[in-house]
Amino acid sequence: DAKTTQPNSMESNEEEPVHLPCNHSTISGTDYIHWYRQLPSQGPEYVIHGLTSNVNNRMASLAIAEDRKSSTLILHRATLRDAAVYYCICQNTNAGKSTFGDGTTLTVKP
């Protein structure tokens, strides 16, 4: 699996957009980029995933660099409920496993 690098923490104001970056410079051609988030004492939940093109869903948008070595999770209007640890992982079917780093702790200020 490709190793991912994320900032330890980020802050945002409520109702403002948030851009969470992730570097994955060793990503392979078959790796999908997935994002998950985790609230305290809970299991992570899926947010979004993509391969090459930018993706949108009801929770967030995923912008993937043209060379695929980095990606950005975009929360269009942060709410207090978005405060969580966000994980970026590269998922490869051949490896059959997923490895999580330490993620980014997002704090949302009212």
Residues that bind other proteins in the complex, under the rule CB under 8 A: 30-32, 34, 36, 41-46, 49, 87, 91-93, 96-103
Of the pair 27, 75, the CB lying nearest other proteins is at 27
Listing DSSP states for 22-83 in one string gives EE-TT--TTPEEEEEEE-TTS--EEEEEESSS-EE-SS-EEEE-TTSSEEEEEESS--GGG-
Nearer to other proteins, 81 or 97 (CB): 97
Residue 109 Cβ vs other proteins, minimum distance, rounded to whole Å: 21
Whole-number minimum distance, CB 32 to other proteins, in Å?
5
Between 11 and 14, CB nearer to other proteins: 11
- Assess contact for 49 and 32: CB atoms under 8 A: yes
